[in-house]
Amino acid sequence: MTASARTALTGVRVFDGDVISADGDTAGASSVDTGGAVLIPGLIDAHVHVDSRGTLEALAAWGVTTALDMACWPASLVDSLRNVPGLTDIRSAGLPAIGPHGPHAQFPNMPSAAIVLTVEHAKAFVAARVAEGSDYIKIVLEDPGNGGLSQGVADTVVAQVARRRHEGRRSCRGAGGLRHGSCTLART
């Protein structure tokens, strides 16, 4: 099929806001009868954990065209899953920033590079994710006294991302098992 070829979906209902419309102009196009199916825009899954091409195949089968991956490593795996024709497109955080003894640090095969202990390490962590091509930085906020990032480290990660906004970086924060008032977020 050439770039200028047209395909007409016949027998389809197109959902556009509150309007369901009938078939359009099919002149000069190859025709596919959809049997009355409904055509909707591609779906976005805003929280996935991609671990293989199979994850993207499953997402695509359910109509998900874009997925926001919250933790996938190594960077070479993320790179191999980007821009694959026919599969869900991903944006990825790469490794998340986690504390040393929280639940996320107990995940099997979690790289030690995800554990951020000091302010200096927080700066290096953000720089490493940017160098790897992460689309945003995920910060897992668990109780600081119970193994999560310290307030100073969390603030430093957020501040480092804010400094890189001109490069298109954003932060994404996940709060797991926080007690009220145990951690304060810096605004980015």
Tell whether the model's pLDDT for residue 183 goes beyond 60.
no
- On whether both 118 and 173 belong to a single domain, the answer is yes
- On whether both 103 and 140 belong to a single domain, the answer is yes
Provide the token pair at 94. 């790469």
Tell whether the model's pLDDT for residue 18 goes beyond 90.
no
The count of structural domains within the chain is 3
Give the Å distances, CA to CA, from 178 to 100, 131, 175, 183: 15, 30, 6, 8
d(Cα 124, Cα 118) in Å, to the nearest integer? 10
Confidence at residue 163, expressed as pLDDT on a 0 to 100 scale: 81
The mean pLDDT value of the chain amounts to: 81
- 186 part of a folded domain: yes
- On whether both 159 and 172 belong to a single domain, the answer is yes
Confidence at residue 16, expressed as pLDDT on a 0 to 100 scale: 59
Backbone angles phi, psi at 56, to 5 degrees: -70, -35
Tell whether the model's pLDDT for residue 84 goes beyond 80.
yes
- On whether both 175 and 109 belong to a single domain, the answer is yes
- On whether both 174 and 126 belong to a single domain, the answer is yes
Mean pLDDT, range 121-125, rounded to an integer: 95
In a 13 Å sphere around the CA of 52, the CA atoms on its Cβ side amount to 2
Q: Higher pLDDT residue, 33 or 132?
A: 132
- On whether both 87 and 103 belong to a single domain, the answer is no
- On whether both 32 and 73 belong to a single domain, the answer is no
Q: Which domain does 20 fall in, by range?
A: 7-39
- On whether both 113 and 162 belong to a single domain, the answer is yes
- 158 part of a folded domain: yes
Model-level pTM? Answer: 0.73
What Rg do the C-alpha atoms of the chain give, in angstroms? Answer: 21
Among 13-17, 23-27, 110-114, 155-159, the range with the most confident prediction by mean pLDDT is: 110-114
In three state form, how does the secondary structure of the chain look? CCCCCCEEEECCEEEECCEEECCCCCCCCEEEECCCCEECCCEEEEEECCCCHHHHHHHHHCCEEEEEECCCCCHHHHHHHCCCCCCCEEEECCCCEECCCCHHHHCCCCCHHHECCCHHHHHHHHHHHHHHCCCCEEEEECCHHHCCCCHHHHHHHHHHHHHCHHHCCCEEEEECCCCCCCCCCCCC
- CB 176, CB 142: distance < 8 Å: yes
- On whether both 86 and 97 belong to a single domain, the answer is no
- On whether both 165 and 119 belong to a single domain, the answer is yes
- 139 part of a folded domain: yes
Q: Higher pLDDT residue, 129 or 187?
A: 129
Mean pLDDT, range 101-122, rounded to an integer: 92
- 1 part of a folded domain: no
- Using the structure block, give the residue that is written with the tokens 């430093």: 156
Tell whether the model's pLDDT for residue 19 goes beyond 60.
no
- On whether both 114 and 101 belong to a single domain, the answer is yes
- On whether both 85 and 152 belong to a single domain, the answer is no
Give the Å distances, CA to CA, from 13 to 44, 61, 87: 21, 20, 24
